[in-house]
Amino acid sequence: MTPPKQTYTYDIRNSLSKNLFRGFWRMMTGFRHYYFIAVLMLAGSALMNTSSFLLVRHFVDNILPTGDVARLAPFVGLGFVLLAGGQGLFSFLSGRFASKTAEGLALRLRDAMYDHIQRLSFTYHDNMQTGELLSRATSDLDAIRRFFSEQAIGVGRILLLFTINFIAIAFLNIQLALISIIVVPFIAGLSFFFFGRISRLYEHLQEQEAKVATTLQENLSGVRVVKAFNRQDYERVKFDKEIFEHYRRGRGFLVMHALFWPLSDVLVFGQIIGGYFVGATLVINGTLSIGSYLAYVSLLGQLINPMRNLGRLIVDMSTGVVSYKRMMEVIGQEQESLVDGSHKPDGDLHGDIVFKDVSFQYNADTPVLYDVDFSVKAGQSVALLGSTGSGKTSVVSLIPRFYDYTSGSITIDGIELRDIPRGYLRGQVGVVEQEPFLFSRTIRDNITFSVSREVSEEEVIAAAKAAAVHDVIMTFPDGYNTLVGERGVTLSGGQKQRVVLARALLKNPRILILDDATSSVDSETEDEIRQALLRLMKGRTSFIIAHRIQTVMHADLILVFDKGRIVQRGNHNQLMREEGIYRQIFDLQSRIDEEVEKEATDVLGLPV
């Protein structure tokens, strides 16, 4: 079954409002009429219910005294049956429409929330913990669903019951009606008092819930490290601490609930007994008929019992309100626009890239790149070399606008990067990230992830061959249909890297970024990949980050980074003639290679 279309056209940010009522009202867009029908049906059901008590009165006061009971009783009986049947039908319909509203809203909210989260900026995700987002997208969202399915409709129901039954009692005796609602302001006051307290406690509880989720999530994704270092006990203590705090806060929350209920019950029962008493007095005085009293006894229950629930509902609503606020904190975050920028080139980019005095920082106080300055012509390759933490990844992550540079200028084909819409730009750039990530889907799905069109088998195989991974895949029993990840075969580090490389190559981008893409691949395979890349890279601009000289030496331009600055630039031959880091690295690596070679021939007698 395909989801309803309105799920996709709904913009969750419209529900953003400082005013809670307005927020909830906006959230109900598209569902208001169902909700309205649900309330209308409720009114029908309540009317039927109340009428049956009035029928009791009619029977006792008007029919019993005539002595004609035998003839009229069947009609009265039929009346009761019809009223009960009608009440049941209306209440069923009301429930149906209420759940349609609540579940429909929840479906749409979940979808919109997920979509919103995946459109937030890299910076936001860098700073937000996954568990925190998880708890907002699950448990907070569920509280909002309950708000609509139980609380909002419940309040409507109670207000209706209250009004209808109050009118019915007033019809019997106005004095009695007024006496019957003395307790209402007290219950309202009590609810209000508890509402504030309980919502604060619930907010603390949800904060802790997010912490527990974060701890659990991190622990699970790091389970290998935990086991490798035998730190299960340490992790358990850490988790225990969080979960105990959760227990403590949950208990406080429930105690407050538990305190509220008996207090409101005392008020409610006091009111009911007082009402019975006053009613009985009126009967004795002769102001109220027996039939009216009988009807009153039932109606009073219908009037006051819901008040008891109202208090409960108002208190429960605090959870919906807190969750709404927590969700809106995420919704209020600016999405990263994919269509901003005034310059969307027609067709593909050419690939001339110029960095001019580019500086960049992730956080306000720690600059990462200083005055990065270089240019590359379309179709050329640039290699970035440098010690760890020197800023190589940061430089290349500016190109697809994962982050925006702080000062200076970057242009592609003469257009300032900031003016090129992110969506278009990312369509032109293929990235192999430093830490390869595969989804737990089939290998084919992972490779074809980079393009949204239908892809032929030949294309997939060509990409896999270029990444030197086709033969490996063919050794798996399920070939390209092999499941990656949690269950199924988990790939080795080098295999994973090559699948990720195939994914980027299949996209056939104008600009290719390979961040340490062959670090877990042996030199022989790397050679193979390099040959394939040389063919593929023709006419594309490429950025290659690597630690091995052999990987970078063929690049048209080699940039050597140190502490966020370019300290050397040129091609291999130029750099070899200079004193500097490049030659040091070259000497070091060739010395190691020689030693290995020597060892192999001398000690093991192996030919190299």
Q: Which is nearer to ligand M5T, 390 or 518 (CB)?
A: 390
Q: Which is nearer to ligand M5T, 99 or 406 (CB)?
A: 406
User: 3-class SS at 544?
Assistant: strand
Q: Which is nearer to ligand M5T, 388 or 573 (CB)?
A: 388
Which of 99, 139, 380, 434 binds ligand M5T (CB under 6 A)? It is 434
End-to-end Cα, the chain, rounded Å: 61
Which of 394, 446, 497, 551 binds ligand M5T (CB under 6 A)? It is 394
The one of ligand M5T, Mg ion, none whose footprint includes residue 126, by CB under 5 to 8 A per kind, is ligand M5T
Which residues have CB under 8 Å from 501's CB, separation 6+?
432, 466, 467, 469, 514, 517, 518, 529
DSSP class of residue 119 equals T
Which residues have CB under 8 Å from 602's CB, separation 6+?
none
Which residues have CB under 8 Å from 173's CB, separation 6+?
282, 287, 288, 292, 296
Only one of the segments 102-110, 204-212, 346-354, 385-393 lies at the binding site for ligand M5T (rule: CB under 6 A); that segment is 385-393
Only one of the segments 5-13, 106-114, 260-268, 390-398 lies at the binding site for ligand M5T (rule: CB under 6 A); that segment is 390-398
Among residues 120, 107, 115, 138, the alpha carbon closest in space to that of 27 is found at 107
Q: Exposed (0-12), middle (13-18) or buried (19+): which is 483, by Cβ within 10 Å?
A: middle
Report the distance separating Cα 469 and Cα 463, nearest Å.
9
Q: Which is nearer to Mg ion, 393 or 442 (CB)?
A: 393
Q: Which is nearer to ligand M5T, 6 or 127 (CB)?
A: 127
The one of Mg ion, ligand M5T, none whose footprint includes residue 390, by CB under 5 to 8 A per kind, is ligand M5T
Among residues 312, 325, 379, 322, the alpha carbon closest in space to that of 538 is found at 379
CA distances from 567 to 284, 385, 390, 506, 529 (A): 104, 10, 11, 34, 29
Cα-to-chain-centroid distance, residue 31: 22
436 binding ligand M5T? (CB under 6 A)? no
CA torsion sign for 415, 417, 418, 420 is positive
Q: Which is nearer to Mg ion, 298 or 393 (CB)?
A: 393
Which of 57, 157, 308, 392 binds ligand M5T (CB under 6 A)? It is 392
Which residues have CB under 8 Å from 134's CB, separation 6+?
210, 213, 217
Conformational region of residue 454, where left means phi above 0, alpha means psi within -120 to 50, and beta covers everything else? beta
370 binding ligand M5T? (CB under 6 A)? no
Q: Which is nearer to ligand M5T, 199 or 568 (CB)?
A: 568
513 binding ligand M5T? (CB under 6 A)? no
222 binding ligand M5T? (CB under 6 A)? no
The one of ligand M5T, Mg ion, none whose footprint includes residue 595, by CB under 5 to 8 A per kind, is none
How many residues of this chain interact with ligand M5T, rule: CB under 6 A? 12
| Closest chain position to Mg ion (CB) | 393
> Cα-flanking dihedrals φ and ψ of residue 227, to 5°?
-70, -40
518 binding ligand M5T? (CB under 6 A)? no
- Cβ of 221: how many Cβ atoms within 10 Å? 10
Contact indicator for 38, 97 with CB cutoff of 8 Å:
yes
The least distance separating Mg ion from the CB of residue 392, rounded to whole angstroms, comes to 5
437 binding ligand M5T? (CB under 6 A)? no
391 binding ligand M5T? (CB under 6 A)? yes
Which of 389, 414, 493, 539 binds ligand M5T (CB under 6 A)? It is 389
Report the distance separating Cα 87 and Cα 46, nearest Å.
7
Q: Which is nearer to Mg ion, 335 or 434 (CB)?
A: 434
Only one of the segments 195-203, 260-268, 389-397, 524-532 lies at the binding site for ligand M5T (rule: CB under 6 A); that segment is 389-397
126 binding ligand M5T? (CB under 6 A)? yes
Report the distance separating Cα 520 and Cα 494, nearest Å.
5
Q: Which is nearer to Mg ion, 480 or 561 (CB)?
A: 561
Contacts by 282-289, CB closer than 8 A, 24 or more apart: 282/173, 282/175, 282/176, 287/173, 288/172, 288/173, 288/176, 289/57, 289/60, 289/61
386 binding ligand M5T? (CB under 6 A)? yes
The least distance separating ligand M5T from the CB of residue 515, rounded to whole angstroms, comes to 7
Only one of the segments 316-324, 383-391, 408-416, 422-430 lies at the binding site for ligand M5T (rule: CB under 6 A); that segment is 383-391
Report the interface residues with Mg ion, using CB under 5 A. 393, 434
Only one of the segments 194-202, 256-264, 382-390, 530-538 lies at the binding site for ligand M5T (rule: CB under 6 A); that segment is 382-390
368 binding ligand M5T? (CB under 6 A)? yes
Report the distance separating Cα 48 and Cα 42, nearest Å.
10
393 binding ligand M5T? (CB under 6 A)? yes
Q: Which is nearer to ligand M5T, 427 or 564 (CB)?
A: 564
Q: Which is nearer to ligand M5T, 154 or 386 (CB)?
A: 386
Q: Which is nearer to Mg ion, 147 or 543 (CB)?
A: 543
Contact indicator for 424, 412 with CB cutoff of 8 Å:
no
> Cα-flanking dihedrals φ and ψ of residue 565, to 5°?
-125, 155
The one of Mg ion, ligand M5T, none whose footprint includes residue 323, by CB under 5 to 8 A per kind, is none
The one of ligand M5T, Mg ion, none whose footprint includes residue 357, by CB under 5 to 8 A per kind, is none
Report the distance separating Cα 179 and Cα 177, nearest Å.
5
Provide the edge-to-edge strand list for the sheet that holds 407-412: 366-376, 353-363, 407-412, 415-416
Which residues have CB under 8 Å from 587's CB, separation 6+?
none
The least distance separating Mg ion from the CB of residue 434, rounded to whole angstroms, comes to 5
320 binding ligand M5T? (CB under 6 A)? no
Only one of the segments 251-259, 283-291, 330-338, 391-399 lies at the binding site for ligand M5T (rule: CB under 6 A); that segment is 391-399
Report the distance separating Cα 129 and Cα 207, nearest Å.
12
45 binding ligand M5T? (CB under 6 A)? no
The one of ligand M5T, Mg ion, none whose footprint includes residue 391, by CB under 5 to 8 A per kind, is ligand M5T
Interaction site with ligand M5T (CB under 6 A): 126, 362, 368, 386, 388-394, 434
